């Protein structure tokens, strides 16, 4: 069954690879209607997330965001598949980094860095062409799939542009050997922690809700003294994106507990508030509830 599912998937990827972008987005419009009105893919989760995040918005505006969100979801899904067959030149035409030079200093100092990302707009193309933007050797983490056919295919496609892949179960790979070139670690950290880890999570007020936050970025930054940049990905028009890098923390050892995580979440919140439909609202982001015994404010200090 695994092989049959994989063969169907490969047939679909072949179809996506040969159609022009104009037809790709016609297909995306059609799929978005099916996803929203027929399949109703996680519609309740999306609606609840939006209503809780934007209590000031009326039902009509929430419905408008939901409609735009499904189109965004289908766009990035098809763009990701399309990207596996595109040349580097074609992706770079549609995907540009505005200021990669702010990381060059750390490469010259032989220092690794962290590029903090989120499930916002098209984050997948960025990992495919990162080696063309940065002097650092790009590294990203992934969760191995149970279907070995899918897993092998996706790993090969993601590695074709010199992206090094590391399993999330082997974080010790962050310990770079002396003879290796400096690396840029791409980490996506806006997911919810696993159930049962409520007390270990950092709890931050995010989009009007108590939110359990992963602290992988902060933990790695402090443990290995790695500067942290946020990658703000914005859709300029359909199928065209820019990345703007912003410094989050250059001296992790001088930060307070939770400060890097709070800065990351604050930056993401500011981006979402400006254009909410490009974030991944179908994630069950708030499935964890804050334990009653925890303080109202996990971090009593305020960001500057």
- Token digits for 273? 């508030």
Q: What is the mean pLDDT of residues 235-257?
A: 95
* Confidence at residue 299, expressed as pLDDT on a 0 to 100 scale: 60
Q: Is the predicted pLDDT of residue 60 greater than 50, yes or no? A: yes
Q: Is the predicted pLDDT of residue 159 greater than 80, yes or no? A: no
* Confidence at residue 296, expressed as pLDDT on a 0 to 100 scale: 46
Which residue reads 């030079």 in tokens?
A: 101
Residue 186 exposed, middle or buried by CB count within 10 Å (0-12, 13-18, 19+): buried
Nearest CA to 267 among 218, 232, 217, 236?
A: 232
pLDDT tens-digit series, residues 270-304: 999 999 999 999 999 999 988 876 654 556 556 65
Q: Is the predicted pLDDT of residue 163 greater than 80, yes or no? A: no
Q: Is the predicted pLDDT of residue 179 greater than 80, yes or no? A: no
- In percent, the amount of the chain with pLDDT more than 70 equals 89
Phi and psi based region of residue 47 (left: phi greater than 0; alpha: psi -120 to 50; beta: remaining): alpha
Q: What is the mean pLDDT of residues 104-108?
A: 96
Query: Mean pLDDT highest for which of 7-11, 69-73, 173-177?
Result: 69-73
* Confidence at residue 285, expressed as pLDDT on a 0 to 100 scale: 93
Whole-number mean pLDDT of the chain? 88
* Confidence at residue 76, expressed as pLDDT on a 0 to 100 scale: 96
- Token digits for 139? 């590294």
Q: What is the mean pLDDT of residues 115-140?
A: 91
- Token digits for 34? 């099916």
């Amino acid at each position: 069954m695994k092989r049959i599912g994989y063969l169907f998937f490969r047939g679909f990827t072949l179809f996506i690879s040969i159609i022009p972008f104009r037809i790709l987005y016609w297909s995306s419009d059609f799929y978005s209607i099916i996803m929203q009105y027929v399949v109703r893919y996680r519609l309740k989760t999306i609606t609840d997330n939006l209503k809780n995040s934007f209590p000031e918005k009326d039902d009509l505006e929430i419905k408008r965001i939901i409609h735009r969100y499904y189109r965004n979801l289908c766009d990035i899904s098809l763009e990701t598949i399309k990207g596996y067959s595109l040349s580097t030149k074609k992706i770079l035409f549609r995907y540009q980094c505005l200021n990669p030079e702010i990381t060059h200093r750390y490469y010259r100092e032989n220092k690794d860095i962290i590029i903090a990302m989120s499930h916002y707009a098209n984050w997948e193309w960025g990992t495919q062409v990162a080696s063309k933007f940065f002097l650092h050797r790009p590294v990203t983490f992934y969760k191995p799939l149970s279907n070995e056919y899918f897993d092998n295919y996706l790993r090969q496609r993601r590695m074709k542009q010199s992206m090094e892949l590391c399993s999330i179960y082997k974080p010790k790979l962050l310990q770079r050997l002396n003879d290796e070139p400096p690396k840029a670690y791409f980490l996506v950290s806006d997911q919810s922690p696993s159930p049962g880890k409520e007390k270990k999570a950092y709890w931050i007020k995010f989009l009007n809700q108590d939110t359990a936050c992963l602290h992988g970025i902060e933990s790695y930054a402090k443990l290995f003294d790695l500067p942290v940049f946020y990658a703000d990905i914005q859709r300029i028009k359909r199928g065209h994106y820019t990345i703007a890098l912003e410094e989050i923390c250059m001296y992790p050892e001088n930060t307070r507990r939770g400060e890097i995580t709070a800065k990351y979440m604050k930056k993401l919140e500011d981006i979402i508030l400006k254009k909410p439909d490009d974030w991944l609202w179908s994630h069950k982001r708030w499935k964890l509830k804050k334990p009653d015994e925890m303080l109202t404010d996990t971090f009593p200090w305020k960001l500057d």
